[in-house]
Structure 1
Amino acid sequence: MTSIDSIFAPAIRGRFYRAIDPNFREFAIAGSRSAGRYSRVHEPTLYLSSSVDGVEVAMIAHRDARPVALEIVELDVEASGIVDLRDANALQAAGVDLADAVAPWQDIADAGGTPSSWAVRDRLVEVGANGLIDPSRKRPGLWHLVLFRWNAVDAPTIRLGGQLGGAAD
């Protein structure tokens, strides 16, 4: 039998990156304002990348739906309760299928449906996860941190670091 603790990756501490519209810099840690791979419109979710390259690769999928120039901000993160989607044992213990996480979602959401990746989030929240590590589909080796909750009691903490400029143009 698998313990609930075996679902979670070791605590994460470090610098992460996010592309934001410079006009909304004060909301950099407020989370997404629209639906995402792991979030319905009404579910604040913070999508971060472990590297600047990760931000730039992630933005490829959003080129048509973003401002012309984005600013990359640095965020200091301390997080536990994270499920690593790269860990087959953690996925099995959580009852999650990686295929559901990486399946296309945008057209389904736009048509009013429920993408399978939203069900992945629902399941992870059900087992007590604060977020997940999402492997890059565009560049193997890169990864992203997706937080379902932060800066609350018993949740990951996020602090705004510096800014790197318009590297996501």
Structure 2
Amino acid sequence: MTLQAHIKTVVGRFWRATFIGQEHHLLSPAQAPRGRWHHSHQKTLYLSGTPDGCRIAVKAYQRSDDPPRRIFPIDVKQARVLDLRKPETREACATTLAEMHVFWADLHAADQHSPTWEVSDAARALGVDGLLTPSRSRPDLTHLTLFEWNQPEAPQVSLAGKPIDF
């Protein structure tokens, strides 16, 4: 079975947290040069399937002096993704849940390459729009990572209402 067999189309409501006052960057790519599913300044938009997913995802990076945040609803249309929540997709991608859930920042700090970057690089090379993944801290929660959006032939992503408290 090829990776093509593991591509699914995602349409629906997702969520993104941002600092109050930074709402104009809500649909902008991640600012950091690297993250769980990107490196070398690759374009990436990180979303969560629920508001709790946002809270859990941000928790690892939160600092006591951070400004307050809000969580915004985001509608996603026609994203072709690899669903890495499924064991058979992970197997086809030659990765494991343990490899996906490594803390990439620790590896980077030790001058090591995160195995998550190999998976996202392969997905980008395949031409998919992104990945559906289980949360590292709470595998019952889902994250959506997009590599392309709001361009011709790419998924459309838009603000879908008022924010809620972080």
Distance in 2 separating the partners of 1:44 and 1:149: 7
Superposition TM-score, scaled by structure 1 size: 0.87
1:119-138 matches, within 5 Å, as 119-138=118-137
Superposition TM-score, scaled by structure 2 size: 0.88
Match of 1:67 in 2: 66
Q: Alpha-carbon deviations, 1:47-98, whole Å to 9, x = none?
A: 1011111111111111128823111111110133201111122223344444
Q: Of 10, 13, 16, which residue of structure 1 is paired with 2:11?
A: 13
Letter in 2 for 1:163: K
RMSD between superposed Cα atoms in Å = 2.0
Gaps of 5+ in 2: none
Q: State the 4+ residue runs in structure 1 displaced beyond 4 angstroms.
A: none
Structure with the higher helix share, 1 or 2 = 1
Percent of matched pairs sharing the same residue:
31
Give the C-alpha shift of residue 4 in structure 1. Answer: 4.3
Give the C-alpha shift of residue 111 in structure 1. Answer: 4.4
Match of 2:160 in 1: 161
Q: Alpha-carbon deviations, 1:8-35, whole Å to 9, x = none?
A: 12x2111111001122211110121012
Give the C-alpha shift of residue 135 in structure 1. Answer: 0.2
How many residues are aligned here? Answer: 165
**SS at structure 2 position matched to 1:64:** coil
Gaps of 5+ in 1: none
Assess if the C-alpha contact under 8 Å between 1:96 and 1:123 holds in 2.
Answer: no
Distance in 2 separating the partners of 1:28 and 1:78: 17
**SS at structure 2 position matched to 1:162:** coil
Match of 1:104 in 2: 103
Give the C-alpha shift of residue 151 in structure 1. Answer: 1.0
Distance in 2 separating the partners of 1:99 and 1:137: 9
Distance in 2 separating the partners of 1:144 and 1:79: 16
Assess if the C-alpha contact under 8 Å between 1:100 and 1:117 holds in 2.
Answer: yes
Give the C-alpha shift of residue 131 in structure 1. Answer: 0.5
